[in-house]
Amino acid sequence: MKPKVILLVEDNTDTREIYRTILAQAGYEVLEARDGDEGLALACERKPDLVLMNISIPDVDGWTATTLLKQDPRTESIPVVAVTAFSRAANVEKARSAGCDGYLDKPVGPQRILEEVRSRVGPASGASDAAS
């Protein structure tokens, strides 16, 4: 069975590596994008099972990228979880209006990322789908 595919949109190389490592260890296939444009292109091309979207990324920011994903019929059904460094309750509202399915405030440790991914798409290669 093919592993579930997670797209990481994150500009910080180290943060990307930390998240990739824990997700790959758990058996997920991990795609990586360094900015919003790359993230949008990869999402259209590969149709991941989940997008983890850092909000403060270069060029197209995470809110805009999420709005664009949710407006495109090819990608609208892919769940998006926003990850933001700015711990503000106002962001919860922003996340909702951009169409994010979930929202995590940094610091988000690797275990927290893994839990969030598991609870949304299920285990890396199981038939069960927690999101449905």
Partner 1 sequence: MSQASPGSSPLSVPYGSDAAADFLALMSHELKTPLNVVLGYLDLLLSGIPDPLPTVARSQVERARASALHLLDVIDSLLTFVRLQRGDERVHVQRADLAPVLRETAAAVRPLMTDTRLDFDVRVPNEVGPIETDPAKVSQIVIRLLSNAIKFTEDGGVILEAGPDGEGGIHITVSDTGSGIEEADREHVFEPFWQREPGLTRRTGGSGLGLTVVAELTRLLGGKLELESEPSRGTTFRLRLPARAERSPEQEAKS
Q: Quick check: helix, strand or coil at residue 126?
A: coil
Q: Which stretch binds partner 1 (CB under 8 A): 1-9, 58-66, 81-89, 122-130?
A: 81-89
**Residue 75 CB, nearest distance to partner 1 (Å)?**
28
Q: Which two tokens stand for residue 53?
A: 């979207």
Interface map 83-122 toward partner 1 (x if CB under 8 A): --xxxxxx-x------------xxxxxxx-----------
Assess 132 for contact with partner 1 (CB under 8 A): no
The DSSP call for residue 10 is -
Residue 78 in contact with residue 47, Cβ under 8 Å?
yes
Q: Quick check: helix, strand or coil at residue 9?
A: strand
Cα–Cα distance, 60 to 40 (Å, whole number): 9
Binding test (CB under 8 A) with partner 1, winner from 37, 56, 64, 102 = 56
Please, which residue, 64 or 85, has the CB nearer to partner 1?
A: 85
